[in-house]
Amino acid sequence: MTDRRRRNQAGKFNILTLLVLLGIATGGYLGYKFIPIYIEKSRISRLVKQAGNQWMNVDPNLEKVRAELQRNLTDGGITYVTANDVNIAQINNEQAEVWVDYKVKVKHFWKIKSTRLKFKIHHKIKRTLATE
């Protein structure tokens, strides 16, 4: 009878339960703080690559490309990276490089120390031949 009663009983709160709950809470907090930053990094990467492609294949006027990139960054809500942070260098007639270095500061609710993340986005771009 006691074995049957134990099988139907709910588990008790112990140290293992506490560690599992603490791990879930920590993972949720880190996801809440850092996943949006990495999503924005992918958006910035896409916009930087698009600007490099535009400069290499469509419009060699760097100031126009920078102005459009700045507008795209601002429309995307990205304020800590500006078009002036983006560097474009032509390797030869067929290739160019585009890169941007930026830092993000993540503030935590305990206000002891913030986390600083450094990102370097680098793309090599090849000229595409227009097919008519």
User: What is the pTM for the complete model shown?
Assistant: 0.76
| Domain assignment present for 1 | no
Domain contains 121: yes
25 belongs to a structural domain? no
Q: Which domain does 63 fall in, by range?
A: 42-126
Angstrom CA distances, 130 to 58, 59, 60, 75, 124, stand at 10, 14, 16, 29, 19
Q: How many domains does the chain have?
A: 1
CA–CA gap between residue 14 and residue 59 (Å, rounded): 65
Q: Give, for all 132 residues of the chain, the pLDDT tens digit.
A: 455 556 666 677 789 989 999 999 999 999 999 999 999 999 999 999 998 888 888 888 888 888 888 899 889 888 888 888 888 888 888 888 888 999 999 998 887 889 999 999 999 988 776 554
90 part of a folded domain: yes
